[in-house]
Chain A
Amino acid sequence: DTGVSQDPRHKITKRGQNVTFRCDPISEHNRLYWYRQTLGQGPEFLTYFQNEAQLEKSRLLSDRFSAERPKGSFSTLEIQRTEQGDSAMYLCASSFPQGADEKLFFGSGTQLSVL
C-alpha cells in the first residue's frame, strides 16, 4: 500500500494560465474523489469517479474545470484560465466501498497559488 499520491505538491501560476494536477490512487481502489480546501475551511467536494465514469460534479466545478480518469486508474484535474479565486489546496482521495462502508484515503494535496 503506497498510499494516494498527488503531483505536484505545489504549483504557482499566473492568472490566465492552465494547470493540470495528477492523482494516483491506491491501486485496488475503484472510487476516486477530488476536493478543494481553502484556509480555515473543511474540504469541499468537487467531483468523483467510479472506475472511469465521472458520477457526480459539484456546482463548484465551473466550465473551466475538467477531470478525467482514463482506464479507471490515475486521474487528472485541469483548470483552464486560472483565476486568483482558484488558489486553494486540491485534495484527491480514493476508496474501495464495501457495502455501506467507505473509508476515504487522502493524498497530501496540491497547493495552488494563482498570482
Chain B
Amino acid sequence: DAKTTQPPSMDCAEGRAANLPCNHSTISGNEYVYWYRQIHSQGPQYIIHGLKNNETNEMASLIITEDRKSSTLILPHATLRDTAVYYCIVRVGGFKTIFGAGTRLFVKA
C-alpha cells in the first residue's frame, strides 16, 4: 500500500470548516483513498472514500487532486464532537487496511 503523510495535529474553531490534508505521492492507479476517524476510547469509524472524483456524504467531503497525489478531507461545520484522530489511508481493493499515525484534530469552542 502507498504511504501517506499527514500533519500530526491541527486546530479548528467550532462552526468553521476543518480541512485535513493528506499527501500520497506514490499512489497507484488502482488505489483508493479512505478516511477514518477515531474518537477517544472508541474504535475507528469509516468516514468516506474515493478513487478519482470528489465525494460527499452526510459526514464530510473528499477532494482528490487531479494527479491523485494528495487529498483533503473537509468537515464543513466542525463541532466539538469532531475532535478525534483522522486517518488517511490508500489501499488496493482486496488488500488489508493499514493505518498510519493520523492527524489529531482539536475543535475549539
Does the CB pair B42–A108 fall under 8 Å? yes
Given A91-B43, A106-B43, A107-B43, are A100 and B102 neighbors across the interface (CB < 8 Å)? no
Does the CB pair A100–B94 fall under 8 Å? yes
A39-55 vs B, CB cutoff 8 Å, 1 = contact: the mask equals 01111110010000000
CB neighbours (8 Å) of A101 from chain B are 32, 49, 93
Give B40 Cβ to nearest chain A Cβ, in Å: 11
Does the CB pair B98–A97 fall under 8 Å? no
B76-109 vs A, CB cutoff 8 Å, 1 = contact: the mask equals 0000000001010001111011111110000000
Does the CB pair A104–B97 fall under 8 Å? yes
**Chain B residue at minimal CB-CB distance from A98:** B93
Flag whether A14 is at the interface (Cβ < 8 A).
no
> Which residues does A use to contact B, with CB under 8 Å?
4, 33, 35, 40-45, 48, 56, 91, 93, 97, 99-109
> Which residues does B use to contact A, with CB under 8 Å?
30, 32, 34, 36, 41-46, 49, 85, 87, 91-94, 96-102
